[in-house]
Structure 1
Amino acid sequence: MAFVFLCGPTQTILGYGTEAAGEYFNNFMQKSLFTGAFDDDPWPKSWSIFYWANWMAWAPISA
């Protein structure tokens, strides 16, 4: 990873990283509190507690 950063397109990597961090912080509350109630979105309703618990259980291992 260090080799690619140093010998690769460093400006592009830094540009995309900065842009991604800005998007993440800019939309964090909106994305984390999305329930889909007003849009009648079926996605949040189709995820059971088992799926959420499974994701949370594997998150520390996958990081």
Structure 2
Amino acid sequence: MLAYSQLITHQLAQDFMISEVTLGRHISALTKKLAVFNVSIQNGRLKWPDTLSSLFYMSC
């Protein structure tokens, strides 16, 4: 998902060869799991604290 700057549901659904409804369920489940780290997916974009962003990119 990080390869995409913004999530476009119909494009992702085609890329993963799944329906948009299934993709929505998976994104919803992923958002719930990411909440532990104060990360969410809102309006097709990842939202996270700046400190976490810095740590993530420095470790790559």
TM band (smaller chain): 0.3 to 0.5
Higher helix fraction (1 or 2): 1
Q: TM-score, normalised by structure 2?
A: 0.36
The structure showing larger relative contact order (alpha-carbon pairs under 8 Å, at least 6 residues apart) is 2
Q: TM-score, normalised by structure 1?
A: 0.35
Answer with 1 or 2: which has the greater Rg: 1
Higher strand fraction (1 or 2): 2
